Amino acid sequence: MIKQWKFPGGIALGDHKQTTEIRDTALPAELIYPLLQRSDCYATATVYPGERVLKGQVIATQKKPLTTPVHAASSGVIKEIAPHLIAHPSGLTDSCIVIETDGLDEALPANPCLDYHLETAENLRIKIAQAGIVGLGGAAFPTAEKLQALQPIHTLIINGAECEPYISCDASLIGSHAQQVVQGALIMQYILQAERCIIAIENNMPATLQALHEATSQESIQIVSVPAIYPTGGEKQLIKVLTGKKIPANSLPTDHGVVCQNVGTAFAVYQAIIQGIPLTERIITITGKGINHPGNLRVKIGTPIKYLIEQCGGYSQNIQRLIMGGPMMGIALSSDDIAVIKATNCLLGMTNNELAESQSAMPCIRCGDCSTVCPAELLPQQLYWYGRSGQLEQCQDYQLFDCIECGCCDIVCPSHIPLVQSFRSSKGELIIKEKQAAQAQLAKKRYQNQQQRREKEQQDKIAKAAKRQAAIDKIKAAAAKRKTQGV
């Protein structure tokens, strides 16, 4: 048994989970791939309209270190590269590659590695990067980058703690592919040369735990059941529970010898190395009372959400909101004309009965409940007041960017203040302010460089003029001397 610790704060939530067998979906008529991957990181299209592509073919390549290649999930013809709705809280449109599928699902030949022990860690990392694998828990950080640890790693944690209500895609994945998940974990442990590997599952998933125990009976991996307290599945919170280590602000788990990866990521690593196929599909939970036939589906990345809803029997009559992700940290979608991306782990159709009753915000009563449940040990009420009054520097002093936007403070606030919304707004203002300051500093530096160039040019001009005048004076002096000698 592994000793477990408690992280600060957190709350117990109803799980609303349905661990079901994974259903396959039919091939959609179109696949849509946004070039925007993370923040302002864009991939660059490597195809052109009218070109035929095969399943597994790279259609966009990385432009920056934190982007990954994008692969076609089926064969077809590039219909267009044009603006299209993307998964964003503001309902933005951005450049997307649209594939019109041909129904053949013709794929490039796979390149399997039958024994990964014969490969170097660097070669395996390269294969993982080329397969386009990212963290499938929602953050979508490039997996190969995370496996490129600069410090020795002693512990690899495979995160199967789906702490948000409704989401059960990881549990279903383990139930169907426990052996492959374990093999993916062992590959990553080999790459990192980690001393131990832990797979963490919430204690309300007995069937999933049993499947893992059976799959690891001959392996050295430790299976740990963790409390179903939200947000145990947060990276820093899970590390605290399993190791007792508190990862400080402005520090990464790798700095402390720990790497945390998602269950779905481990399965994708298995597919990339052992089967030699890139990341083109994933398991998604489609659930909520707003969906007629909820379940866990194996979905091709790029599939339009509206097509998946059709595969689940459509919406119920009292659907009120469609959310990508869980009810706590997911984003509400303005339309279902949006494609599944690598980070999509859940589509949640909620009714009025499931949505918290909307109430007008009242003044803060300084009860401190938000501080009690904050897993990042922040003071949400102070952050709220500073943000509301425009004192953004004080927000930074109170570690605003340590907020993981889990929503615990929103849940317990008796005044119904939208705290997370306020924090997101303050973060956005600070980011804009920092960018403006950086631009101003760059402009100042350019101006100073320009002034220095002008001063140097002026000095050079004066020096040249002086040199010319000295030459003229010398010529005049010589002429005068000759004239005197001639007289």
CB 158 within 8 A of CB 262: yes
pLDDT (0 to 100) of residue 99: 98
Q: Which domains, and CATH codes, for the chain?
A: 22-27+109-332 (3.40.50.11540), 363-487 (1.10.1060)
- Residue 448 structure tokens: 């100073």
Residue linked to tokens 């499938």: 136
Give residue for tokens 């709220």: 384
Structural contact between residues 33 and 100, judged by C-beta atoms closer than 8 angstroms: no
Q: Are 383 and 423 in contact (CB under 8 A)?
A: yes
Angle made by CA atoms 467, 472, 475, in degrees to the nearest 5: 125
Which stretch of DSSP H or E encloses residue 97?
Answer: strand 93-101
Ramachandran assignment for 82, one of left (phi > 0), alpha (psi -120 to 50 degrees), beta (any other): beta
Separation between Cα atoms, residue 345 and residue 283, nearest integer Å = 7
Given this model, what pLDDT does residue 88 score? 81
In 3D, which of 235, 238, 266 has the Cα closest to residue 173?
A: 266
pLDDT given at position 146: 93
Say how far apart CA 373 and CA 411 lie, in whole Å.
9
Task: Scan for tokens 């594939």, then name that residue.
Answer: 99
Q: Where are the beta strands (DSSP E) in 344-422?
A: 346-351
d(CA 4, CA 300) in angstroms, rounded, equals 37
* Element spanning 453, H or E: helix 419-486
Each of the 487 residues of the chain gets a pLDDT tens digit; together they read 688 999 999 999 887 888 778 999 999 999 999 999 877 788 999 999 999 999 999 999 977 777 899 999 999 999 999 999 998 877 789 999 999 999 999 999 999 998 999 999 999 999 999 999 999 987 889 999 999 988 899 999 999 999 899 999 999 999 999 999 999 999 999 999 999 999 999 988 888 999 999 998 777 899 999 999 999 999 999 999 999 999 988 889 999 999 999 999 999 999 999 999 999 999 999 999 999 999 999 999 999 999 999 999 999 988 999 999 999 999 999 899 999 999 999 999 999 877 765 678 899 999 999 999 999 999 999 999 999 999 999 999 999 999 999 999 999 999 999 999 999 999 989 988 888 988 999 999 999 999 999 999 999 999 999 999 888 888 888 888 887 876 5
Query: Token digits for 377?
Result: 């040990």
Distance CA 448, CA 471 (A): 34
Round to whole Å and give the CA distance between 231 and 293: 27
**DSSP notation for 160-188:** E---STT--HHHHHHHHHHHHHHHHHHHH
How far apart (Å, rounded) are the C-alpha atoms in residues 425 and 271? 39
Taking the model in full, what pTM does it have?
A: 0.89
Give the integer Cα–Cα distance in Å for 174 and 162. Answer: 12
Question: For 419-455, b where at least 16 C-beta lie within 10 A, e where not — what string?
Answer: bbebbeebbeebeeeeeeeeeeeeeeeeeeeeeeeee
Burial 204-222 (b: 16+ CB within 10 A, else e): ebeebbebbeebbeeeebb
